[in-house]
Each structure stands twice: as structure tokens, then as C-alpha cells.
Amino acid sequence: MLAKFLYQFTDYFIGFNVFRYITVRAALAAITALVLSWWIGPKVIRLLKKYQIGEEIRIEGPQSHQVKRGTPTMGGLIILFSIVIAVLLWADVFNLYLLLIFLTTLVMGLVGFLDDYLKSIMKIKKGLIGRYKLLGQISVGLLLGLVIYFHPFFDGLHSNTSVPFFKNLEIDFGWFYILFIIFVLTGSSNAVNLTDGLDGLAAGLSAIAFIALAGMAYVTSNVKFADYLNIIYLPGTEELAIFCMAVFGAAMGFLWFNAYPAEIFMGDTGSLALGTAMGAAAILLKKELLLLLIAGVFIAEALSVIIQTSYFKYTRKRYGQGKRVFKMAPIHHHFELKGWHETKVVIRFWIVGILLALLSLSTFKTQ
């Protein structure tokens, strides 16, 4: 860890003392990830174009998206590379919170990479079979749940979660907490995956969510802030703040190339990794229920798919002909088909994401 190495020289120059501050390391993690994304982005794009590793656009999707066919995908590699290097440089890699979120993110990034590899390189249309992808999500959630529930580090809070808007109110799930973690992690990774359908949408919303999570991790790790805000005090979560800021920087750097018209898509490599990291951060901070606000747009996207699919199956079974609630799901396509330009949908969803992030932060003071 570069920060720890530099701090050793404090005796020779007092300026090196800044590397012990969380705010400094978090800012450096964000800047490092951002710069790395900008540096490696063009190289990855050229490489993907050279080997013609491009996105296949669904025929049943909006016709305006057909021009995107062949756009390089698997851009999540840019995000993951930037996060890994930034975290290794500026975070405490022996911190248990960091190790858990780091490993879960990388594992689901690997699952997403396998899906992208099968679709874009092996030309298997459906990529990784859905049940295998789900198996990966459940396995990661189960592993995280077992560690939190049984590891002595989490004694006293191993099955608890805080309830937003209520002072000192917590829910103890008992054994069901492991299942709850699996549900949260699977839901968050799928939600981000479904949202990744417009240029810059998932990357921008992820950046917004992770900067909010970084703030939560910081105050949760500070005993004075935690006491003043009446929230659970979790020493060690400051390293989660550094991780979240690294993700923020990587997402913003990737957005430079992913903004309309996108030069590259993140693919499942990026969306599954980001969604898993988002869910894992909320779980480790005991803010699983607050994730409903932080990731509100992502959740709305996932719910629109569930509603659309369920209603279509119900009406087809009952009336012999399936009917739809939305013009198309996920819901961002619904607004496109209503006549909104892609950039208008993205920017308006970003605005909603910012408002929800601010609302989630405001719950600390109301508790």
C-alpha cells in the first residue's frame, strides 16, 4: 500500500502525515481510478475494435439502437482495472471490510466477463446461461453471508440491519440474514445489469450511488459522527469509503468514453461487478434497507421488468393474449418509445438518482 509506505517518511518531512487521513486517501483513490480509466480506456477500445469484439443489439429493442451494433463491449475491464490499482495503492488491503467487498466485486466481474466472452467472442447469442449466472450471484451472496454471520469480527451485529428514518431501530434477522444478504446482492447486481441499456446511464447512476455510499462509510467509521447522527458505529469501514471513492473515480472515467454516443459499453463485466459492489457496500454498512433509496433508479428499472413480464404472462394465461404495462421494459426504453431522446432519458434519470442519493444522506439526521 503506497499510502502506508509514504507515511513512514513523516519523521523526515511532516507533509507525509497527510497520508494517514481518510479524506486524503479517498480523494487520491478517486483521482487515481479516474486517471487510470482515461489512460487505459483508448487502449482497450482500440484492442476491442482490432479483434471486432462488439455488442450485439437485440432485434426486439428500439430500432434507434441498431446503429450501435458492433460498438466495443467488455468495457467493465477498464472499471475493474482502475478500481484494483487505486485500492491497492491507497487502501488497507488487510482490512476485513475491504477484503470482502474487493473479492465479491472481482468474482462477479469474472462471472460477467465469462458472459461477455461467450456472447462477443464465442458468438453464443445468450452468453452464460441464466441459471449459471444466478448460481454465481447466490454463491457470492452465500459466502458473504456466512462470513458476516459466523466471523467473530462481526459479533453483536452479525445479523442486524438498521432501519432508515427511525432512531436506533434495528432489525435482527437471525439465520434469515444469510438469505437476506443473498437476496440483496443478487437483486443489486441484476438491477444494475438491467439498467445498462443506454449510453452513460448505468455508469453515471453508479457514480452517484457510490459517492453517497462513500459518505456513509466515512461517518459510520467515525465514533463522534456516528454518535451525533445516531447510527451504528462500525470501526474499520473507513476503508470502504476509499473503495467507494475508487469506484466513483473509475465510473466517472469510464463515463468519459461511455457518454452518448458511446465509444464502448461496460457489458456484464462492469454491470455485474458494480451492482455486486453496491449491494456489498450497503450490507457491510448495515444499510441494506437504505439501498432502496440509494439505488432507487436501479430498483425501478428491475421492477419494471418484473411487472412487465408478470403482467404479460398473467394476461396471456387469462385472456389468451399477453398485454403490457409499459411500451417496453426496462422502463428507460418505455420513455424512449414515448419520444424522449436517449440523452434526455439518461440525464433525467441521473437527476432522480442525485435526488435519491441526497435523500438517503438526509435520513442520517432524521434518525
With cell 523526515, the residue in question is: 12
Residue type, 364: F
**Weakly modelled stretches of the chain, pLDDT under 70:** 1-17, 19, 56-65, 365-367
User: Following CA atoms 340, 344, 350, 353 in sequence, which dihedral angle do they give, to the nearest 10 degrees?
Assistant: -30
pLDDT digits (tens, 9 = 90+) for 42-79: 999 999 988 888 776 666 666 666 777 778 999 999 99
Q: Residue 350 and residue 273: Cα distance in Å, rounded?
A: 20
What is the pLDDT at residue 213? 97
pLDDT computed for residue 285 by the predictor: 96
pLDDT, residue 268, reads 95
- Helices (runs of H) and strands (runs of E) counted in the chain: 14, 2
What is the number of residues in the chain?
Answer: 367
Taking only the tens place, the pLDDT of each residue in 211-221 is: 999 999 999 99
One-letter-per-residue 3-state SS of 42-108: HHHHHHHHHCCCECCCCCCCCHHHHHHCCCECCCHHHHHHHHHHHHHHHCCCCCHHHHHHHHHHHHH
Residue 63 burial class via C-beta count within 10 angstroms: exposed 0-12, middle 13-18, buried 19 and up: exposed
Residue 341 is which amino acid?
Answer: H
Distances (CA, A) of 353 to 107, 258, 292, 358: 27, 18, 11, 9
pTM reported for the whole predicted model: 0.94
Segment 182-203, tens digit of pLDDT: 999 999 999 999 999 999 999 9
